[in-house]
Amino acid sequence: MLRDEEKLLRRVVTEFCESNVEKERLRIERDGIPDSLIRAAAESGFLGALAPPELGGSGLDLRSYSVLLQVMSKYSTSLAYYVFLQNSLFIAPLLKFAREDVGRSVIPEIASGGSKGTLVQDIFRRSKNSLSYEGKLNGMADMVPLPDADHHLALVRSRDGDALVLSNPGNVLERYRIIGLRGIEFGKVSYEGRADVITERGSSAAEELMGEVAIPLSAMALGVVERAVDMAAQYSKEREAFGSKLSEFQPIAFYIADVQAQFRVLEEYLYSDSPDPLTVKVLSLDLARKASRMSIQVHGGYGYFEDIGVERLYRDAAVLSSIAGNYLDDMTKLSRGLLGDFAAKI
């Protein structure tokens, strides 16, 4: 399934996470990702994973990038999301749509960890977009990850339709954490000021972006699944009830094995030559929800507490399912791919 260089990367990322992330697991959830960890991720080339070497990046292809996110998500989905935000939601659209003289110049800063980028998440739900651009950016956006980021990409209404613009930081009106990805701060931001137009084909850029995040998002979901299964399997082999290990009870063993079987098939498919992104996304997000629920159940009361580390998988699975479209949107697209453009419209 994985090529040799991808297996090597998997080992490197695992070692990075074992040395740097595992010990910070609870701190990330409670207080956010420490700066030292972000610096370490930058030094390892993770923050510029998708950027080419000439822009200070690692130049990973989609498969290797997916390996990176899957492994990292096992240890901290918040940190994996941070890497995803810098790469899939910031560097990738700049590489794809920005001119040499506008936008791309910030990529080396992002890759080195010298500055942070963010994407105003309204881009995935355009009906609620309240940002407009007429020479200046104006309006307010909610659910902005890393609201204090140095560079903000946003989809805005412009005179000629929708545009993707790069803006300086706005005024943060409210900061909060959401149900999962607790290491990431979200916020409500008011924008008023200069912004550079990256592309005037904003809507189609958003549509393309939505399609391109499906595989990386699936990789993060599979990281959640892998961790959930690993923890459930280990606990079931240690914990005793009624004089036997939990793993000796058929329903518990079947529950774990069922999720593991689905994981293996999905992982195989994700790293196959031409996986259908939407298919992987729908199935892996569903499996992440199922796996995290299973793992809490196997852990019983212990699974309900944060120090064990299973409950965060349950919360993170909910967020991954919601940050780039939702189930009905994905199923509608999947149906149309199979049945034609008029499918699933009622």
**Which residues bind to another protein, rule: CB under 8 A?**
121, 124-125, 127, 143, 176, 178-180, 240-243, 249, 251-252, 285-286, 289-290, 293, 296-297, 300-301, 303-307, 311, 314-315, 318-319, 321-323, 325-328, 331-332, 344-346
With residue 320 as reference, give the H or E element that holds it.
helix 311-320
Backbone phi and psi for residue 111, each to the nearest 5 degrees, phi listed first: -65, -35
| Least distance from another protein to the Cβ atom of residue 311, Å | 4
**Nearest to another protein of 6, 316 (CB atom):** 316
| Least distance from another protein to the Cβ atom of residue 325, Å | 7
**Mutual angle of helices 214-238 and 77-86, in 10-degree steps:** 170
**Nearest to another protein of 328, 338 (CB atom):** 328
**Three-class SS state of 335:** helix
| Least distance from another protein to the Cβ atom of residue 310, Å | 9
**Mutual angle of helices 250-270 and 214-238, in 10-degree steps:** 150
As a whole number of angstroms, the distance between CA 24 and CA 291 comes to 23
Backbone phi and psi for residue 134, each to the nearest 5 degrees, phi listed first: -140, 75
| Least distance from another protein to the Cβ atom of residue 229, Å | 17
As a whole number of angstroms, the distance between CA 90 and CA 120 comes to 10
| Least distance from another protein to the Cβ atom of residue 319, Å | 6
**Nearest to another protein of 116, 299 (CB atom):** 299
Residue 53 has, within 13 A of its CA and on its CB side, a CA count of 0
**Nearest to another protein of 40, 334 (CB atom):** 334
As a whole number of angstroms, the distance between CA 323 and CA 121 comes to 8
**Nearest to another protein of 168, 297 (CB atom):** 297
**Nearest to another protein of 127, 274 (CB atom):** 127
| Least distance from another protein to the Cβ atom of residue 44, Å | 29
